[in-house]
Structure 1
């Protein structure tokens, strides 16, 4: 419930695996073709993800195809925005795979951003990025970052240090995405030390989706924001569960 001093927002982060279906580890091999070809009921999966996104105010996407052969040349972030009724959307293509598939971070929002930035992240192998949307005016405005971090520890360390520098002057910040690591990993400490972002109060396992035992998808909040609830929910047949969270935001951060 909103009060005169706060507004409740519903957030969602989802690695959608470009609409592909993975229900067991063997699917990474037996269904590997679906990561390169425009088949495998991707449109049906996207429609299910749109239905999930519809109940939220700000949605961060990872592994959304920006319009390659794999998706039938469909910009999946744009498609989801239209199907779920979001007026504002942005995407950040950041990786091409063999000329047949591409991957992007995406943002869907019911609030109009004041500014949206995209930044390439450092790392041994390129193709990772962070999308930063600012709502409200000045450094007190809400800042929402969407990222997909590397599998390697050293690359993650440099990426998290980069993101920490981006968010260090924002007391009302959200960082969401697929971190590929637990929230208490050593490389996460630079983020907590340089910003007001805090580790989650309770880890919510999101991977693998068919038997989740690892909390590697996160929505981190700065100390100026208050979490109301958090839960993992299916994102169609992606190998990750989506993470949904309700938060209270100071009203002045959204002006």
Structure 2
């Protein structure tokens, strides 16, 4: 499992995701999760899909936690892993709502 917190800028995010993919390419099965600071349709997340990662979950907004309007937090899996994701709307100790996954 790897946890990330990407920068706010799209060009930085692309660089970061390329680097993350290189670091994790030796791991055939992995869960990559965290604050990606970008929506599901972003170019950075498209790079993950091209690298064989599958996004787990819905497009439920996670930011800001007090009135969620943006989907910025994601869980991706790669390899033989399977699972489903949920967003916890009851926990608001952060400016982002948490996302969780049950993996098989």
Gaps of 5+ in 2: none
- 1:163 equivalenced with 2:26 (yes/no): no
SS at match of 1:146: strand
Which structure shows the higher strand fraction?
1
Q: Is the 8 A contact 2:31 2:77 kept in 1?
A: yes
Question: Alpha-carbon deviation of 1:187?
Answer: 2.2
| Distance in 1 between residues matched to 2:14 and 2:84, nearest whole Å | 29
Partner of 1:224: 80
| Distance in 2 between residues matched to 1:176 and 1:165, nearest whole Å | 16
Partner of 2:46: 189
Structure possessing the higher radius of gyration over alpha carbons: 1
Q: Which structure exhibits the higher relative contact order, with contacts defined as CA atoms closer than 8 Å and separated by 6 or more residues?
A: 2
What is the CA RMSD across the aligned residues, in angstroms?
Answer: 1.7
| Distance in 1 between residues matched to 2:59 and 2:40, nearest whole Å | 8
> What does 1:126-205 align with in structure 2 at a 5 Å threshold?
144-194=1-51, 196-205=52-61
Question: Alpha-carbon deviation of 1:201?
Answer: 4.7
Scaled by the length of structure 2, the TM-score of the pair is 0.86
Partner of 1:214: 70
SS at match of 1:208: coil
Q: Is the 8 A contact 1:147 1:178 kept in 2?
A: yes
SS at match of 2:18: helix
Q: Is the 8 A contact 2:56 2:85 kept in 1?
A: no
Question: Alpha-carbon deviation of 1:171?
Answer: 2.0
Question: Alpha-carbon deviation of 1:197?
Answer: 1.2
Q: Is the 8 A contact 2:55 2:75 kept in 1?
A: no
Deviations 1:174-227 (A, max 9, x none): 111111001220122222222x21133522211111111211011111141111
| Distance in 1 between residues matched to 2:21 and 2:70, nearest whole Å | 23
Scaled by the length of structure 1, the TM-score of the pair is 0.38
Question: Alpha-carbon deviation of 1:243?
Answer: 0.9
Q: Is the 8 A contact 2:57 2:84 kept in 1?
A: no
Gaps of 5+ in 1: 1-143, 249-255
